[in-house]
Structure 1
Amino acid sequence: MTSPYGPGLRHSHAEDVYAFLIGCSLIVMGLMCLHKAGLVTGGVAGIALLLSYLVPLTPGNLFTLINIPFLLFAIRAMGPQFALKTTIASFGITAFASVLPSVMNLSYVEPLFAALFGGTVIGMGILSLARHQAGVGGTGVMTLWLQKSRGINAGRVQIMIDAAIVATSAFFLPWEKALLSALSALAMSSVLMVFHRPGRYIGH
Structure 2
Amino acid sequence: MNHLSAEQAKVWLTDILFDIAGSTLYAVGVHMFTAPNHIAPGGVTGIATMINYLLGAPIGTVSLLINIPLLFLSFKLLGKAMTVKTLKSVFIMSLILNVMNFILPVYTKNPLLAALFGGVGIGAGLAIIFMRGGTTGGTDIAARLLQLKFPYIPMGRAMLLVDCVVLITSSFVYRQLESALYGLIAIFTCTRVLDSLLYGVDVGKMVLVISEKSQEISKAIINDLDRGATLLAGKGAYSGNDKYVVLSAVRKNQFHKLKNLVYDIDPRAFIIVAEAGEIMGEGFKPIQNKTK
TM-score normalised by length of structure 1 = 0.84
Cα distance change of structure 1 residues 144 and 192 upon mapping to structure 2, 3 Å threshold: farther
State which of 180, 183, 204 in structure 1 corresponds to 2:182.
Answer: 180
Which residue is 1:166 aligned to?
Answer: 167
Stretches of structure 1 that go unaligned for 5 or more consecutive residues are 1-9
**What is the percentage of aligned positions where both structures have the same residue?**
27
Cα distance change of structure 1 residues 120 and 134 upon mapping to structure 2, 3 Å threshold: same
Q: 1-side partners of 2:148 and 2:131: how far apart?
A: 13
Which residue is 1:189 aligned to?
Answer: 191
Alpha-carbon deviations, 1:136-170, whole Å to 9, x = none? 10010121233255413222221122222111211
Stretches of structure 2 that go unaligned for 5 or more consecutive residues are 1-7, 200-276, 281-287
Does the 8 Å CA contact 1:70/1:139 hold for their aligned counterparts? no
Which residue is 2:216 aligned to?
Answer: none
Does the 8 Å CA contact 1:46/1:165 hold for their aligned counterparts? yes
State the superposition RMSD in angstroms: 2.4
Which residue is 2:241 aligned to?
Answer: none
Q: 2-side partners of 1:178 and 1:142: how far apart?
A: 21
Q: 1-side partners of 2:103 and 2:197: how far apart?
A: 31
Please identify which structure carries the higher strand content. Answer: 2
Cα distance change of structure 1 residues 65 and 87 upon mapping to structure 2, 3 Å threshold: same
Q: For residues 66-145 of structure 1, what are the structure 2 equivalents within 5 Å?
A: 66-106=66-106, 108=108, 110-145=110-145
Does the 8 Å CA contact 2:143/2:159 hold for their aligned counterparts? yes
Amino acid at match of 1:115: A
Does the 8 Å CA contact 2:108/2:114 hold for their aligned counterparts? no
Q: 1-side partners of 2:190 and 2:163: how far apart?
A: 10
Which residue is 2:13 aligned to?
Answer: 14
Alpha-carbon deviations, 1:40-86, whole Å to 9, x = none? 11111111112222223121111111111111111122221221111
Which residue is 1:59 aligned to?
Answer: 59
Q: 2-side partners of 1:71 and 1:52: how far apart?
A: 22
Cα distance change of structure 1 residues 25 and 123 upon mapping to structure 2, 3 Å threshold: same
Amino acid at match of 1:188: C
Query: Between Structure 1 and Structure 2, how many residues are aligned?
Result: 195
**Greater RCO (CA < 8 Å, at least 6 residues apart):** 1
Does the 8 Å CA contact 1:83/1:134 hold for their aligned counterparts? no
Deviation of the 1:102 alpha carbon: 3.1
Which residue is 1:3 aligned to?
Answer: none
Secondary structure of the structure 2 residue equivalent to 1:171: helix
Q: For residues 140-155 of structure 1, what are the structure 2 equivalents within 5 Å?
A: 140-148=140-148, 150-151=150-151, 152-155=153-156
Higher alpha-carbon deviation: 66-75 or 152-161: 152-161
Deviation of the 1:107 alpha carbon: 6.1
TM-score normalised by length of structure 2 = 0.61
Which residue is 1:6 aligned to?
Answer: none
Question: Is 1:37–2:37 an aligned residue pair?
Answer: yes
Q: 1-side partners of 2:79 and 2:133: how far apart?
A: 10
Question: Is 1:24–2:23 an aligned residue pair?
Answer: yes
Deviation of the 1:94 alpha carbon: 1.7
Deviation of the 1:181 alpha carbon: 1.2
Q: 2-side partners of 1:131 and 1:28: how far apart?
A: 18
